[in-house]
Amino acid sequence: MKRADKLDHRKYKYSDMNALIREIEGLCDGLDQKHPMERKIRFLLDIRGYLKVNGIRGSYIEFGSYHSEMQYAAYNVLDETGMMDSYVGLEIFSGEPELTPEEKKSFPAMCTGDFSCDHEAVLSFVENNFGGKGVIVKGDFRKKEVMARCDAHLPLSVAVIDCNLLSSTEYALKYTLKNMTPGGVIFIDDYLSNMSGGIPRVKDLFEAVVREEGKEVLEHNFYPPFAKSFIAVGKQA
């Protein structure tokens, strides 16, 4: 490596510590995440060209769509690719269901009833802002009758799993892997959120479901502080 390519640390020797403080504070502010949606929109922007160039067609599905913020971001970013058939959001609307003892250990900050929201308000927002492609499915997606309402929008090309609880994550992963077109992308927002005690619960669950479904996935990217994405490449040989 040429000397000119190396960082010259001599430039960063400070005689004025107040100048050092100001510079570090400016870097912290400039590099800090400005909005909680930032990692999610970065993911959508990252896959936009990938979907278009590779002709990966299907529907977007989001498990735990809450106020449909990311669902709308997906429509805004991905619809120009011409590859997206519909944008499906699944939400229970009454808040987090009853937590199992294991879920209480893995996500101690979570309580039953968290993230409740107004179904009618969200439905109205989706009906009016998605160009006729938005779909809201209300209910607990661990139940087959709820998931059956998504079948008309298969196959899936993008799946976002943002449902916090391990039991919900498991059902979401199984449905996604069964119904994803080869080359589709999976974004797991809570991949590193369930790490109480340093145990990678979502990672272990994800790997177990991939094996059970006989699929193969490629690691795609990491979106700090805790989201990770994968590409579904088909069945194992």
How would you write the pLDDT of the chain (237 residues) with one tens digit per residue?
A: 455 555 555 566 667 788 888 988 999 999 998 898 999 999 999 999 999 999 999 999 999 999 999 999 999 999 999 999 999 999 998 766 667 777 666 666 666 656 678 999 999 999 999 999 999 999 999 999 999 999 999 999 999 999 878 888 999 999 999 999 999 999 999 999 888 888 899 999 999 999 999 999 999 999 999 999 999 996 644
**Within 10 A of 90 (CB to CB), how many other CB atoms are there?**
25
Cα–Cα distance, 65 to 63 (Å, whole number): 6
Q: Residues with Cβ < 8 Å from 218, sequence gap 6 or more? A: 230, 231, 233
β-sheet bridge partners, residue 158: 60, 185
**DSSP line for 156-176:** EEEEEE---SHHHHHHHHHHH
Rounded CA separation 60/36 (Å): 20
Query: CA-to-CA distance for 135 and 163, rounded, in angstroms?
Result: 18
Domains and CATH numbers, the chain: 36-235 (3.40.50.150)
Predicted TM-score (pTM) of the model is: 0.86
**How many CB atoms sit inside 10 A of residue 184's CB?**
26
Residue type, 98: E
| pLDDT for res 28 | 94
The 3-state DSSP class for residue 196 equals helix
pLDDT value at residue 9: 56
| pLDDT, position 1 | 45
pLDDT of residue 95: 67
Q: What is the pLDDT of residue 199?
A: 87
pLDDT, residue 88, reads 98
CA dihedral 39, 40, 42, 47 (to 10 degrees): 140
